[in-house]
Amino acid sequence: MSGYHQALLAWRDALAGKVTMHVLFIEPRFPNYQRQFVRGLREAGARVTAIGESGPEALDDELRHWLYGYERVDSVVEEQQLYDAVRRVQARDWVDRLEATIEAHVLPAARVRQACTIPGTSVRTAFLSRDKPAMKEALRAAGIPCAESAAVHSPAEVHAFAERVGFPLILKPRDAAGAAGTWRADTWDELHSAIGSCGIDRGRSFAIEEFNEGHEAFYDTLSIDGQPVLEFISHYYPNVLEAMRTRWISPQILTTNRIDAPDYEEVKQMGRRVITALGIGTSATHMEWFFGPKGLRFSEIGCRPPGVAMWDLYAAANEFDIYRQWAMALVHGRVDQQPSRRYAAGMITLRPDRDGNIVGYDGLDQVFNELGESIIDHHFPPAGSPTQEVGAGYMANAWMRLRHPDYDELQRMLDYIGRTVQVRAG
């Protein structure tokens, strides 16, 4: 169907009172769970035009069925290309929303959204949710407890911060997600090494922060007009930086079904204040926090869903379709289902004993025989597959995901898997 005929049909439907929201969605294919956002939008009654880096021939039949249109670009983070694609769509159809759910896509989408006068997350909000020093400065101004932090552009600025705040210190890219590119320095020698590794001595701008001591966890929401309508709290064991640096550790992430416990009230209140301070409207959010000797402290927030397919974990734990609820929030300004809170759920990362190629696995049969009813899904690369480095992430090598009504029992089960399953490489 030509663009002219699509526009004519949209005009006819509008006159007949059959207005359908038209949503542009960035990158529907990768990671694989991106397709679920497209499905959710389609089921919520929206027309979905996707903008992606693959050719249309790469879309499978199911994804093609969910889409109203598709625009290819070389790079979805190159703003001029994204702008041109949006304008091509706007030339033939009215566009109601432009949505991005990947960290690197959020700010380019906001800038194009503003340039094309499409409602949604503002450039200010997207920038503050991406740039670590600016984020913390805005939240400190709002009275939200954060680690001391600054943007640094030279070794002299790093030294001045270290002399004022003291060790340990964290250096990270201003727009990093997770522990990517992050360095911890406990001494001057380690700090000097990090300066060279980060490129600060060559003019690269970085964020430097006081080290947050304590337990690391996160608070995720789906918010409508700045008010959380769905909330989730999850925990890291151990903290992310340690987990992404230590081969022998089998890191875990657990989401609790005890979110209404009184101990979590302070976390939820802080998270809501952060959302208000940053001007987040209708969006998913992912907020990291620490609790330690200095009490509860904000770490960072993304104006998007969490990574490593955490939404799939939330869906399995709570027996509902979270992607559809996200779409309902965007399309209709409401959700129509609440989490059951029946299960806690968690994932464990199982790393190879060395770099190389996968040779095999020990202990799998025992784990599947004993825990089979609680296993949600799993991934074990076949023999011969190349291993991924330790810092590549929670889903880079083998992993398992489980659920159980009791959080403590779930944690015991994940610990048991970590002790029992060995990933052999050679």
Q: Per-block average pLDDT, block size 10, for the chain (426 residues)?
A: 46 52 97 96 97 96 97 98 98 96 97 97 97 93 92 90 90 71 87 87 86 94 98 97 91 98 98 98 98 95 96 98 98 97 98 96 97 97 96 94 98 98 97
Q: How far, CA to CA in Å, does 16 sit from each of 2, 19, 42, 90? A: 21, 8, 21, 21
Residue 391 has a pLDDT of 87
CA angle, 325 as apex, 95 and 219 as ends, to 5°? Answer: 110
Edge-to-edge order in the sheet of strand 22-26: 69-72, 47-52, 22-26, 97-99
Beta strand pairing status for 344-350 and 252-255?
A: antiparallel
Beta strand pairing status for 206-210 and 169-173?
A: antiparallel
CB 387 within 8 A of CB 357: yes
* pTM confidence score: 0.90
* Domains of the chain, CATH where assigned: 3-120 (3.40.50.20), 148-210 (3.30.1490.20), 213-340 (3.30.470.20), 343-426 (3.30.470.20)
Show the 3-state SS of the chain. Answer: CCHHHHHHHHHHHHHCCCCCCEEEEECCCCCCCHHHHHHHHHHCCCEEEEEECCCHHHCCHHHHHHCCEEEECCCCCCHHHHHHHHHHHHCCCCCCEEECCCHHHHHHHHHHHHHCCCCCCCHHHHHHCCCHHHHHHHHHHCCCCECCEEEECCHHHHHHHHHHHCCCEEEEECCCCCCCCCEEECCHHHHHHHHHHHCHHHCCCEEEEECCCCEEEEEEEEEECCEEEEEEEEEEECCHHHHCCCCCCCCEEEECCCCCCHHHHHHHHHHHHHHHHCCCCCEEEEEEEEEECCEEEEEEEECCCCCCCHHHHHHHHHCCCHHHHHHHHHHHCCCCCCCCCCCEEEEEEECECCCCEEEEEECHHHHHHHHHHHEEEEECCCCCCECCCHHHCCCCCEEEEEEECCHHHHHHHHHHHHHHCEEEEC
